[in-house]
């Protein structure tokens, strides 16, 4: 009896050791794979988002090319890279020209900044400190630079880091587009694999969560990132046509503000005010009308892209996702952070068995 008990315990111990060794090897392999792919994780995740979001467009292009998937993939890849690279070149060229113009202006007459125009005399009293700094800078910019050197140093360092991050982000975008095209090319088999993974992880509701993932990604990309890109493109066209100094930089800042749902107003409105003081009334008025149309377009485009229903997540979730993503992963995280956090939010609601409509119904009115 003791012998059989000893044999049983020995076999049990051997099985435990065998299982632990297998698990150890498995975790070692997973960790090793992660270390190898770690530099590409962000790019791969963004590529998946691009592939899911553009899948309907890709299918339409395949039909246009009469089922020739490789040609359709190459066409879409070149189109996306062109949309990304051409504006980047224009912005860089604009920045280079503006720096050259400022340098030439300073060498010619010693002025970097034009003086405030006549229209600034009618500005409210609270703008006097700004006008004083502006006037001083137009006469002798070195005084302002020396006086606010610490603040300008911080802003300058931030701008340099931001520009470097944007350059890195553009390269990541290009690599993500290339990977996304490969995913779209083999989308049928990858769809089956992804559903199998969800079912394996979650169980019977795996396919339901897979559908939630696809719908959420498409809604976020269309309704928020897409609208932000359209608005920044519109405001950029207005800035460039009106001859706004450093139009490219202002356009990029507007893009960031549009993504985090703050809107283009904090940049566009001061630019319009500035243009009224330094350029002719016709140009400034046309720019004002165009900026107004751009700001209103947010209320028109979002219902079109998102439908008449509720947005996929509260604005706070989008804001935190975009800002957190930007801090954690740089420029590409600005886009990806919002998608990932909204996806997590949707999963959480689905897990607790609620949706946005139920949350709104359960909210009690706040007495003021």
Residue 62 lies in a domain: yes
How many other C-beta atoms are found inside a 10 Å radius of the C-beta of residue 204?
7
Which region, left, alpha or beta, applies to residue 348 given φ > 0 means left and ψ of -120 to 50 means alpha? alpha
Residue 12 lies in a domain: no
- Going by pLDDT thresholds of 50, 70 and 90, the confidence category of residue 6 is low
Q: What is the pLDDT of residues 67-100, one digit of tens each?
A: 888 898 899 899 988 888 888 887 778 777 777 7
Residue 33 lies in a domain: no
Q: Does residue 308 register a pLDDT over 60?
A: no
- Name the average pLDDT for the chain: 77
Q: Does residue 256 register a pLDDT over 60?
A: yes
What local confidence, expressed as pLDDT, does residue 354 receive? Answer: 60
Number of domains into which the chain is organized: 1
What local confidence, expressed as pLDDT, does residue 289 receive? Answer: 92
Residue 161 lies in a domain: yes
Residue 84 lies in a domain: yes
Residue 20 lies in a domain: no
| 196-205, 316-325, 340-349: least confidently modelled range | 196-205
Q: Which domain holds residue 348?
A: 42-357
Residue 117 lies in a domain: yes
Distances (CA, A) of 203 to 194, 196, 214: 13, 10, 18
CA distance 60 to 65: 9
Q: Does residue 8 register a pLDDT over 50?
A: yes
What local confidence, expressed as pLDDT, does residue 3 receive? Answer: 55
Q: What is the dihedral of CA 222, 223, 226, 227, to 10 degrees?
A: 150
Residue 230 lies in a domain: yes
State the average pLDDT over residues 352-365. Answer: 55
State the average pLDDT over residues 95-107. Answer: 72
Q: What is the pLDDT of residues 49-72, one digit of tens each?
A: 888 888 888 888 888 888 888 898
What local confidence, expressed as pLDDT, does residue 141 receive? Answer: 65
């Amino acid at each position: 009896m003791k012998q059989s008990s000893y044999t049983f315990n020995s076999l049990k111990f051997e099985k435990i050791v065998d299982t632990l060794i297998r698990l150890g090897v498995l975790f070692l392999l997973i960790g090793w794979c992660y270390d190898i792919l770690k530099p590409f994780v962000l790019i791969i995740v963004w590529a998946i988002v691009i592939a899911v979001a553009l899948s309907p467009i890709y299918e339409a292009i395949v039909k246009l090319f009469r089922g020739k998937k490789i040609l359709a993939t190459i066409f879409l890849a070149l189109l996306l890279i062109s949309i990304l690279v051409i504006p980047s070149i224009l912005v860089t060229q604009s920045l280079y020209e503006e720096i050259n113009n400022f340098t030439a202006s300073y060498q010619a007459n010693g002025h970097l900044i034009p003086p405030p125009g006549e229209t600034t005399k009618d500005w409210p009293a609270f703008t006097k400190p700004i006008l004083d700094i502006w006037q001083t800078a137009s006469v002798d910019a070195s005084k302002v630079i020396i006086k606010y050197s610490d603040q300008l140093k911080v802003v300058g360092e931030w701008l340099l880091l931001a520009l470097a991050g944007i350059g890195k982000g553009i390269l990541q975008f290009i690599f993500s587009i290339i990977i996304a095209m490969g995913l779209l090319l083999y989308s049928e088999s990858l769809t089956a694999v992804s559903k199998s993974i969800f079912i394996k992880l979650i169980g019977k509701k795996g396919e339901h969560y897979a559908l939630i993932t696809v719908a959420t990604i498409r809604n976020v990309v269309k309704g928020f990132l897409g609208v932000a890109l359209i608005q920044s493109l519109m405001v950029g066209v207005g800035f460039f046509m009106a001859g706004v100094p450093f139009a490219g930089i202002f356009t990029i800042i507007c893009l960031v503000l549009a993504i985090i749902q703050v809107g283009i107003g904090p940049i566009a409105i001061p630019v319009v005010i500035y243009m009224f003081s330094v350029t002719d009334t016709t140009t400034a008025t046309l720019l004002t009308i165009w900026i107004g149309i751009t700001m209103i377009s947010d209320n028109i485009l979002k219902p079109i892209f998102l439908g008449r229903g509720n947005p996929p997540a509260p604005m706070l979730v989008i804001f935190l996702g975009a800002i957190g993503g930007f801090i954690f992963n740089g420029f590409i995280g600005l886009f990806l952070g919002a998608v990932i956090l909204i996806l997590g939010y949707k999963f959480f609601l689905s897990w607790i068995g609620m949706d946005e409509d139920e949350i709104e119904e359960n909210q009690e009115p706040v007495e003021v």
